[in-house]
Amino acid sequence: MSDNITLTAELREDVGKGASRRLRRLGNRVPAIIYGAEEAPITLTLAVNELTKAMEQEAFYSQILDVMIGGKASQAVVRDLQRNPASGNVQHIDFMRISANKEMQVSVPLHFINEDLCVGVRLNNGAITHNLTEVEISCLPANLPEYIEINMEEVDTGSSIHLSDLVLPDGVVIVALTHGEDRDIPVVSVTTRRVETEDDEGEGDEASADDAADDADAAEGDSEDKGEEEE
């Protein structure tokens, strides 16, 4: 697990949609809320500059954060993040507190390694298709991985790596697989690229020649018809 990211938050007493709009209009703070762990929800604000810097790290979206409120740290994960559809600016962020002895569900990124050494790509003209870039897991906070690694080196064309094939740390479970075998979907696949062969080119040349011949026959027929009309 990476070092925790720390965010400094301030209590927000002026709540409601109007208050949030006014706060966003100022442009220097973002409204937020923290809840969970059998404690009362608390409305907060975060400095835009600090939040933007933290969001540049991949771990921000999947790891445990230290949210500092009045000098006291609350451990939490990002549960929801709302953006302005036009500008992409963060409009609101939800944090969920975590408990050390209670399992949590969170999405963690997938890291695909050795893609340049992939057998299907290197030897058999394959192409890699990523069906997922993150996966939802369940675990205790102490077992939370920063990411899950997938080794592509031995994957050949026509093969896929499914959720059940992922190598997980101890104490980590993929949520989808707890709902049945039909949820064991492909995570990444290697497919064969279509290669144009000489036969394909020949067929194309033959088709072009046939088309040209048909056009010539049609032109000749039109000429004969025109001559008959003149006679």
% of the chain at pLDDT higher than 70:
77
176-203 pLDDT tens trace: 999 999 999 999 999 998 766 555 555 5
Provide the β-strand partners of residue 54: none
Given a cut of 60, whether residue 88 has pLDDT beyond it is yes
The CATH code for residues 5-98 is 2.40.240.10
pTM score, two decimals? 0.76
Q: Where are the domains of the chain?
A: 5-98, 105-192
Domain 105-192 indexed as CATH 1.10.10.10: no
Average pLDDT over residues 104-123: 97
Provide the β-strand partners of residue 95: 34, 78
Most confident of 184-193, 202-211, 212-221: 184-193
146-178 pLDDT tens trace: 999 999 999 999 999 999 999 999 999 999 999
Question: What pLDDT, on the 0 to 100 scale, is given for residue 226?
Answer: 47
Question: What pLDDT, on the 0 to 100 scale, is given for residue 166?
Answer: 98
Given a cut of 50, whether residue 230 has pLDDT beyond it is no
Question: What pLDDT, on the 0 to 100 scale, is given for residue 194?
Answer: 74
Give exposure, 140-172, as e/b (b: 16+ Cβ within 10 Å). ebebbbebbebebeebebeeebebeebeeeeeb
Average pLDDT over residues 119-138: 97
31-74 pLDDT tens trace: 999 999 999 999 999 999 999 999 999 999 999 999 999 999 99
